[in-house]
Structure 1
């Protein structure tokens, strides 16, 4: 059945042009054959009109158009014939290969080749002459030639479409990579900013509250000293972060990133900040000299200790805060424990971003982390943050 889709404008132009050209040839008396069963010239207009109508279906129903067009061409052989009818049939063969389904585009060239060979052999066997060979050539030009052209154009069109799809997929993947890279970089910047500043700002908040609430000149002076020191240290950290962001060509952790070698200074500073809150901070470094750690592992371990000490300063009850480090052949263990419970005095509010940042750091390295109540002696409850970071080559590349 004919497709209900509207014909393409180019198909309408071909149909009108073919019909007009055939009508002009008929009016001036140009025909392609003589001595046929129906010699009346007007009879050749019937296949011409039908072939013109089929041109409207060359895209929407190419196989139907070719099938009916073949019958129209056969019928035209019993009339004086029209060159326009013949030319429009070649276009239908070409369109059937180009716009038809893949199976038809493979079958039609084979069928037209077989028809060309069979026609040539048949005419040579019936009447051996140069005319028989000429008839075979004409049949090939009318059927096999357009089919072969359609195959070539279709292959080029499919190749161009495949290239366009690959280009679109490549662009989509590139955009996805860009978005992921931007998201990862923003997360890294957020972790760095939080870990750098939160410790100092927490100490400033607690000691400024103490200075305002305790009417003692000595206490206020000590608190202001801690506030000044943390303000200077925080400013230094912020300047380092700004330098890190400006150094857009660097890859991996910057050379100025803190390492475990500066952990003593961090613990000492945390002890000074939390002394007024009744906290005593100690470092128990149980590592053995077994080679350097990958830079990402050192940075993550330092930040985990820094954030854990900041949380202890905000929330821990008076008592010991212990930082423990252990290293095996496969992992670095970082553990920070503090007394869990209520405490007097001012507190700094927490947002939970620090715990999120620690988990992100550990996840990126393929490690594990946990935070929660742990066993303590003498009825004392403790809060433990424990992380295990892989130290193999994969962690070094993380």
Structure 2
């Protein structure tokens, strides 16, 4: 009797020590379903005790029978931890099931079912296999013990039903669920692997494409440096040598023309070198072309015999405008001059840069909603001299011409599209077409000084 009392006291003490050694962080992984299941089990244990449904009356120990609430709490605690700590659950539920057998309580069947089900489903692969094998061994031992003790077919069949329901059913059920979960996890991992492989393949294709572009840029840079740059350098050197051999009169037309040829070739060489550096490094160069350079460009056309007029009414000549806006104005004006030189040779060209108020009231000098650039020239008198036009009325291409206005061949088809691209890049719009006997290029850009900083 004394040994039985000592064992009854030792079980709760062991449970308490086991609880103290648990990691408190495991409580964070307890699921709501497990809480509900543990609460339901406790209600079942209370009903079985109240109805006095006992299964092991001959094995009942008074100390265990009176302590059934403590045993039930230990078993329900194990149910709470069946996902977070399967081994702790097995220890608590197994001990509580044995204690319920000694207490003569029918809850032993419930905890035995939960012991094998949770250990097979949530335990490690080794623990799951061991629990499944143990269930079969215990089932066989239960049948042998029942037949040996009772020598009765009824008792043996009853033991077989108990073994199937309590031991074998949870093992098979949990095993099937575990295989389904593993299959789902495997399919998910496979899908992730396929997606990752697709991403890697896309990155590889992009890298290959970038490498091909880099090689193409390097090839273009070499070609520009070896061919075009060399030719421009030769033009600059030969024009410089011709200047030394020319007449000393500074105002002679030949001298002025040679100086202009040398200046244009040197400027073109500088821009070509900037383009070569861009192709080599991939870094965008600083914007080239400012409004103050527009007067020099017009002077070059005038020195070549062209009638070009420039009117710039912007405050300070537009020096306050951001570089991208100035570059767009300069480049589009230069492109329009080239087109006029090709398609309307001998015709006067007028360039006007001003501010517009967009139809609204004036807000004082130097204030406006838009910066306007208008480049206009009379249309040629003869049909052959008219511009090659696209169906929408825009000039098809830009002329490859010299500064003096002589045509050097057909256009490349990129002049007007280049104007539209520069205008859109600067946040503006452009129109080009015939109106009232004039060919007019109209560029509208937002005035940065009128843009809301927000």
TM-score (norm 1): 0.49
Structure showing greater relative contact order (alpha-carbon pairs closer than 8 Å, 6 or more residues apart): 1
Larger Rg: 2
